[in-house]
Amino acid sequence: MQNPVWYESLKKPLFTPQPELFAPAWIFLYGLITLSLFVYIYKQTDKNKTLGYIFFAIQLLLNLSWSPVFFHFQNIKLSFVIIVLLVLSIILTMVFFYKISKIAAALLVPYLLWTCFALYLNYGIMVLNL
């Protein structure tokens, strides 16, 4: 975690997990995300997969941009916008993955749930600290 002093100084919403939980959770989730992509890639189909790849790339870029915006730039409002867009892009990724592979879409469910929880945390931090 970048800038733990700043993060620790923030007021946090109810049910905020200990910081030590985030790394193992994300390692597990990145494993599922990767597995989902491989299932999608290797699923034999005549259907066009382009939109699935596009939304996968969008959600990945949003995911990777959230931490620097929140921790390094300490921009809670922009990180909230990013995570809202991230949730929407995960849902769209799941929709297009589902058309090719129900398994690929299902593997993203824990990621979506965790990101919704992170959205709640980001919103709570925004409301409590701005």
Q: Dig out the tokens for 110 from the structure.
A: 């824990």
Q: How far is CA 98 from the centre of its chain?
A: 18
Residues 6 or more apart from 85 whose CB is under 8 A from it? 62
User: Residue 102's Cα: distance from chain center in Å?
Assistant: 20
In the chain, how many domains are there? 1
Q: What is the pLDDT of residues 51-93, one digit of tens each?
A: 999 999 999 999 999 999 999 999 999 999 999 999 999 999 9
Range of the structural domain that residue 94 is part of = 48-130
- Is the pTM here over 0.75, yes or no? yes
The verdict on residue 14 lying in a domain is no
Q: Retrieve residue 83's tokens.
A: 């995570």
Asked if residue 6 lies in contact with residue 129, where contact means CB atoms within 8 angstroms, the answer is no
**If DSSP codes are grouped into helix, strand and coil, which group holds residue 11?**
coil
